[in-house]
Amino acid sequence: MTNERRVLVHADKQSLAGSVAARFITKTVDILDENDVATVVLTGGSVGIGVLEAINASAARDTIDWKRVQFWWGDERWLPRGDSERNEGQARSALLDHIAVPPGNIHAFAASDDGVSLEDAATAYATELAAAAPDGDDYPRFDITFLGVGPDGHIASLFPHMNGIRETESSVVAVHNSPKPPPERLSLTRPALNSSERVWLVLAGADKASALGLALAGASRDEVPVAGIKGRRRTVFFVDKTAAAEVPSNLIAPSY
Ligand SMILES: O=C1O[C@H](COP(=O)(O)O)[C@@H](O)[C@H](O)[C@H]1O
């Protein structure tokens, strides 16, 4: 089995979301055949939420035993709990509110109106991760981690040339002065994301082509954060044609 990064190109954003949804359902059923629990890290962003909507719309949705799935987030926007821009709220509307997942399996970041500071919220999430981890580890075994990719190559809330992408000690960082609104955010760090068995990056649109091309051509992670992402077993970029425009052709897997 190779752990090289693979790029799978789809005709458009809608077929991309449908294909990733189908693959997610199949893979999660397989994981639950072998393990008691499947642990999934969710992303915000347009395609990430589109994938959750496609899972919800699938006739095969409930072949997954949702009681045995644990959900975490790769990042969150520091906004009041009910704000429509929070990644948590969008994921709940797209999928989590519609499936039989116990509330205790949903591990959301704190919100800006919870009465804690951004730094304390980061520490609390790191503590929650560690509590769910095998003895001595900092985070649970993440089976599938979804990530979107911004036009600047950011993943989760790790932005180019900022401290978050350089963090190697903590599992969670508080982000100030994000170049993309809102300015304050919470994010898993690169070591936490890269501890995942599988990282599935989902992105569409011509505005992502340059960042993706640079990342796959060997740019530094400081310059293009997505360049620093690699899962333990698999790293797959699910992209549409326009986002794939600058991907070296030898990295594109045959279409299916
Ligand atoms: O703000 C964020 O943006 C990225 C990418 O979003 P997209 O809409 O350009 O796909 C997302 O991955 C991240 O989770 C989110 O907080």
- pLDDT digits over 217-238, tens only? 999 999 999 999 999 999 999 9
Domain boundaries 5-251, corresponding CATH code? 3.40.50.1360
Please tell me whether the overall predicted TM-score, pTM, comes out greater than 0.95 for this model: yes
**Tokens representing residue 209 in the block:** 């082509």
pLDDT score, position 248: 85
- pLDDT digits over 97-108, tens only? 999 999 999 999
Please, which pLDDT band fits residue 250 given cuts at 50, 70 and 90?
A: confident
Distance 129 CA to ligand 1 centre (A): 22
* Ligand 1 near 148 CB (within 6 A): yes
Mean pLDDT, residues 18-26: 98
Mutate to test the pocket of ligand 1, among 51, 154, 188, 226 (most ligand atoms within 8 A of CB): 154
Residue 1 reports pLDDT greater than 70: no
Atom of ligand 1 nearest to the CA of 74: 14
Rounded mean pLDDT of the chain?
96
The values of phi and psi at residue 92, to 5°, are -65, -45
Mean pLDDT, residues 184-200: 98
Residue 256 reports pLDDT greater than 60: no
Distance 135 CA to ligand 1 centre (A): 32
- pLDDT digits over 46-55, tens only? 999 999 999 9
* Ligand 1 near 107 CB (within 6 A): no
CA-wise closest residue to 76 among 141, 8, 157: 157
Task: Say how far apart CA 219 and CA 217 lie, in whole Å.
Answer: 6
Q: What DSSP letter does each residue of the chain carry, written as one string?
A: ----EEEEEESSHHHHHHHHHHHHHHHHHHHHHHSS-EEEEE--SHHHHHHHHHHHH-TTGGGS-GGGEEEEESEEE---TT-TT-HHHHHHHHTGGGS---GGGB-PPP-TTSS--HHHHHHHHHHHHHHTSPTT-SS---SEEEE---TT--BTTB-TTSHHHH--S-SEEEE-S-SSSSS-EEEE-HHHHHTSSEEEEEE-SGGGHHHHHHHHTT--TTTSGGGG---SSEEEEEEETTGGGGS-GGGBPPP-
13-27, 104-118, 242-256: least confident range: 242-256
pLDDT score, position 2: 61
pLDDT score, position 228: 97
Task: Say how far apart CA 115 and CA 56 lie, in whole Å.
Answer: 33
- pLDDT digits over 120-163, tens only? 999 999 999 999 999 999 999 999 999 999 999 999 999 999 99
Task: Say how far apart CA 22 and CA 256 lie, in whole Å.
Answer: 13
Residue 254 reports pLDDT greater than 80: no
pLDDT score, position 249: 83
Q: CB within 8 A of 120, min separation 6: which ones?
A: 110
Mean pLDDT, residues 16-29: 98
Taken in order 42, 44, 45, 49, the sign of the CA dihedral is positive
Task: Say how far apart CA 66 and CA 100 lie, in whole Å.
Answer: 6
**Tokens representing residue 186 in the block:** 């919470």
Domain range annotation of the chain:
5-251
Residue 255 reports pLDDT greater than 60: no
User: Could you report the predicted ipTM of this complex, rounded to two decimals?
Assistant: 0.96
